[in-house]
Chains A and B, each alone.
Chain A
Amino acid sequence: MKSTALKKQSNDFYTLNPPISTKPDIYVVIPAYNESKTIKDVLEELKDKNLKIIVIDDGSSDETYEIAEDSIINSYNESIYRHVLNRGLGAALKTGIEAAIAKEADIIVTFDADGQHDPEDIIKVCKPITEGKADFVIGTRDFSKMPASKKFGNNVMNIITRVFYGIHVNDSQSGLRAFNIKAAQVLDIHSRGYGVSSEIIGEIKNHDLKIEEVPIKTIYTDYSMSKGTGLNIGLKILFKLIMNVIRKVF
């Protein structure tokens, strides 16, 4: 019901989003690639929060899919999708968002499977949407608590996001984000890898949707430290972005 109201409203450019007053359907999309060590704990913690869960196993070569399947009890609220081949973070996110749209979600939250996010923050990032203040919310990590190499990589990515998409945000690479259904539906992303985070922000800006940033906690473990945006990935993303620009010219 609510989603149709929002759909109608998206045609009308000038009205503000109505606050979602009744309990919204929040779907947590969790892309997972070789996360067998953490996926179980992440899912258990989320289940206590009474949220709907969509896991996308992105062609993991370890037991991620089996472990996730075992920890699912209620198949109505929790589903796992499996990519038969590894297609990258961007591809997995897109699959999850499409699945959530098909299930008529009101709010879609993306959540990393490596255990670096605090489930409490999900409600925090959803709040600006339920209050009708934003269409898209980024859970911004505290850079001052980040190890130097990650801090550098993330800062570079913020600059790249600014140069290529013309928008400055404080944490372009955060894995914890929330979309209302309107934002999720207009999203047209092509990046398969980590470049997706910047591309999403660019898409939101192109469609004149409202962005909010909410500070979130980050749980740094040795495990989560080994993943995510370092310098290496930053350079890869930069190369892709430049190639995309050249391709458009030709």
Chain B
Amino acid sequence: MIFQIYQILGTLIGIIAIVLSLWRFKEGKMTLGMLSFWILIWAAVIIISIYPESTNLFASITGIGRGLDFILILGLIGSYYLVFKMYTMIESMEQEITQLVRELALQRENLKENVEKSNNSLK
């Protein structure tokens, strides 16, 4: 079997991504759930790179012309979903930061006022 360039590239990228995911998991920067999710995704990329014909099965099930088209469509939808997920995650993080900043501002001013009050009562 002679590999095409895209097959080698796909496999390489998949392996690198899996190694990076494992690395991040080891450093505690990724949860076990996310790790398994990404390993599944990248394993699928590797398998499809090596056996492109396997996608024909999906194509015949869904009725989309060619197997690779199906995978591309799936990939596109998946990417959009992930971008959206990230947007909402960042948004909720921003809200948490805002809450922290607000709490800091309120407490610092309260502290200042209390100190002033106790200073005044000492006089």
Chain A residues with a Cβ under 8 A of chain B: 56, 59, 75, 79-85, 87-88, 91, 94-95, 98-99, 102, 190, 192, 243, 246-247, 250
With a cutoff of 8 Å between Cβ atoms, the chain A residues found around residue B95 in the complex are: 190, 192
Chain A at the B interface: SS class: mixed
Contact A81 B98 (CB under 8 A): no
Q: How far is the CB of B105 from chain A (nearest CB, A)?
A: 4
Closest chain A CB from B59 CB (angstroms)? 28
B27 interface residue per 8 A CB criterion: no
Q: A59 CB to closest chain B CB, in angstroms?
A: 8
Residues of B near any A CB (own CB < 8 A): 84, 87-88, 91, 94-95, 97-98, 101-102, 104-106, 108-109, 113, 116
What is the CA–CA distance of A75 and B110 in the complex, to the nearest angstrom? 12
Give complex CA distance A247, B116 in Å: 46
Most chain A CB inside 10 Å of its own CB: which residue of B102, B106, B108: B102
Contact, CB under 8 Å: B106 / A99: yes
Task: Please indicate the chain A residues that have their CB under 8 angstroms from the CB of B109 in the complex.
Answer: 79-82, 99
Decide yes or no: A98 and B94 within 8 Å by CB, A75-B116, A247-B88 being known contacts: no
From residue B12, how far is it (CB to closest CB) to chain A in Å?
34
Contacting residues, chain A, for B94 (C-beta < 8 A)? 192
